[in-house]
Structure 1
Amino acid sequence: MTEKRPLASALSPLALAIGIVVLAFPLYYTFVASSLSTADIMRPPMQLLPGDQLLANYREAIDGGVERAVGVSLERLLWNSLVVAMLIALGKIIVSFLSAFAVVFFRFPLRLFFFWLIFITLMLPVEVRIVPTYQVMVDLGLLDSYAGLTLPLMASATATLLFRQFFLTIPNELVEAARLDNAGPLRFMRDIVLPLSKTNIAALFVILFIYGWTQYLWPLLVTNDAQMNTIIVGLARMVDYTNAATRWNYVMVTAVLAIVPPVMVVVLMQRWFVKGLVEGEK
């Protein structure tokens, strides 16, 4: 029987409401700013109610306002980010799944050594690896390409560890049953391991998609052509701190549109995401 705590019961909704306000207010503020003119945004204090320029700002930004500011259309920026996020998410899942499958279900010399070699990469900050990785991309001629934007980010020690820990929970009886049924490694992976991993894959996809969508430093380094910029890089380049002519209404429109795809992924896959996290803890 649960212990009754009136004070905690009363404060819990209040704490939740405060947390929601703190997290949601910057998003609301950005949306309001996207409905105002640049002059209204720059005039303190900025109003907290949406203005009358909402449709005009979005139409102008999409019809060429962003392209005049950064040399690339808003649609192209969103498309580049979508391609990069999808390739990074799917690539990380495939590479990590196969790596963990090999470590858990195959017996070969030094398999644990190779696993820990992968795991140790978590201790290396991105700044340590980014210069040699950039040099490799230059030598391979992969600058200003989707391959250059995504290939170095497809390896994930964290996802490999999570898949390995889940694979270790698969009963040995299933492995023995597959052997008795003369199922090879590929059939065992396709018919048993992959179906059991669906919720984990879904949860990781949400996390990795957002990770790929929000990348800034690496796309900034490997793209010299504006046509290969992602939405985050394009958003940063729209803000010119040395020029008072920055179109802040277009910046805010771009920021709002940059938020929409990851939010949609989370909303559409919320059930699988939560289920994958819960099952991953068992």
Structure 2
Amino acid sequence: MVENRFWLNLLSHLVLGLGVLLVAFPIWIAFVASTHSAQGLVSGTIPFWPGDLFLENFSQVLSGGNDGSVGVSAMLMLFNSLVMALGISIGKIVISLMAAYAIVFFRFPLRSVCFWIIFMTLMLPVEVRIMPTFQVVANLNLLDSYTGLTLPLIASATATFLLRQFYMTIPPELVEAARVDGAGPVKFLFDILLPLSRTNLAALFVIMFIYGWNQYLWPLLVTTDEHYYTIVMGIQRMLAVGDDEVAWNIVMPTTLLAMLPPVGVVLMMQRLFVKGLVETEK
């Protein structure tokens, strides 16, 4: 029996509370900064309590009336980031799902060689192959387009590897039973394999969504039109003002808005995360 010790529980809660405060403190400062004027934030003292300009600053950000460093509204940049993140995450999942399905459940020559070739691409991150990839995108006239933002980043060896490892744990008896019942490859994929993979796909979706949302280097290269700027690029342009003062009352609301979609995705997928951890059948 585990002994219930009051002081030990109190110490544990204090440590957890301290951790929450340390994590939440930067977010609180960003929120406070979004409620003050630009002059009040560059005076040399950091306010710790909200001001009275919350609605004014956020309406200015959402309407596009920023400090002039970015000529589009935060809503458009959020939309561009959402398109890019969804395109990358869904594309990665679909391609990785089909690749892992073919490698595990189909018999064809050099099947293992194909998998290890895919796996070896992990040694080539985006930064290593970014110049030839940019050249291909430029030759295809995909610069300043949603296709150019998402298409070169949708292949994922990591997702293929994780899905392959999960599919290899599926009992052969299940595959044989589906074959006896007359289920073809497509029916087996949609009716049996996808329901079994929902927790894995949810976890991959969250990881890939955040990966696509936080992309900076690739959008910086393939976009010159402000109407295709992502929210990460917009924040960087707001900070790159040279010798001028940074409009923190505009940067901080934009930063808070940029945090909302990833946090929302994590919260929506949290139940599947927990279910995937407690299921003992897998």
Fold shared, TM-score > 0.5 on shorter chain: yes
- Write out aligned runs for 1:92-131 (5 A): 92-131=92-131
Q: Which amino acid aligns with 2:228?
A: M
Give the structure 1 partner of residue 84 of structure 2: 84
Q: Which amino acid aligns with 1:173?
A: E
Q: 1:268 to 1:228 in 2, by over 3 A?
A: same
Give the structure 1 partner of residue 255 of structure 2: 255
Post-superposition Cα deviations, 1:165-198, rounded to whole Å, max 9, x if no partner, equal 1111111111001121222111111111011111
Post-superposition Cα deviations, 1:247-280, rounded to whole Å, max 9, x if no partner, equal 2211111111111111111112211133235559
Q: 1:104 to 1:14 in 2, by over 3 A?
A: same
Aligned equivalents of 1:71, 1:27: Cα separation in 2: 26
Q: Is the 8 A contact 1:200 1:277 kept in 2?
A: no
Identity of aligned residues (%): 57
1:218 aligns with 2:218: yes
- In the TM superposition, residue 207 of structure 1 has moved relative to its aligned partner by 1.5
Give the structure 2 partner of residue 196 of structure 1: 196
Q: 1:8 to 1:115 in 2, by over 3 A?
A: farther
Aligned equivalents of 2:58, 2:15: Cα separation in 1: 35
Give 3-state SS (helix, strand or coil) of 2:121's partner: helix
- In the TM superposition, residue 135 of structure 1 has moved relative to its aligned partner by 1.1
- In the TM superposition, residue 14 of structure 1 has moved relative to its aligned partner by 2.6
User: Which structure carries more helix by proportion?
Assistant: 1
What CA RMSD, in Å, does the superposition of the two structures yield over aligned residues? 2.0
Aligned equivalents of 2:281, 2:70: Cα separation in 1: 45
Give the structure 2 partner of residue 29 of structure 1: 29
Give the structure 2 partner of residue 132 of structure 1: 132
- In the TM superposition, residue 94 of structure 1 has moved relative to its aligned partner by 0.4
Aligned equivalents of 1:115, 1:206: Cα separation in 2: 24
Give the structure 2 partner of residue 234 of structure 1: 234
Aligned equivalents of 1:281, 1:37: Cα separation in 2: 56
* Alignment: residue pair count: 282
Aligned equivalents of 2:163, 2:218: Cα separation in 1: 26
Q: Is the 8 A contact 1:93 1:159 kept in 2?
A: yes
Give the structure 2 partner of residue 60 of structure 1: 60
Aligned equivalents of 1:87, 1:16: Cα separation in 2: 37
Give the structure 2 partner of residue 161 of structure 1: 161
Give 3-state SS (helix, strand or coil) of 2:64's partner: helix
Give 3-state SS (helix, strand or coil) of 2:65's partner: helix
Give 3-state SS (helix, strand or coil) of 2:183's partner: coil
Aligned equivalents of 1:80, 1:137: Cα separation in 2: 18
Aligned equivalents of 2:59, 2:5: Cα separation in 1: 53
Q: Which amino acid aligns with 1:74?
A: A
- In the TM superposition, residue 34 of structure 1 has moved relative to its aligned partner by 0.6
- Write out aligned runs for 1:175-190 (5 A): 175-190=175-190
Q: 1:246 to 1:67 in 2, by over 3 A?
A: closer
Aligned equivalents of 1:53, 1:59: Cα separation in 2: 10
TM-score (norm 2): 0.93
In the alignment, structure 2 segments of 5+ residues that lack a partner are none
Aligned equivalents of 2:120, 2:276: Cα separation in 1: 25
Give 3-state SS (helix, strand or coil) of 1:127's partner: coil
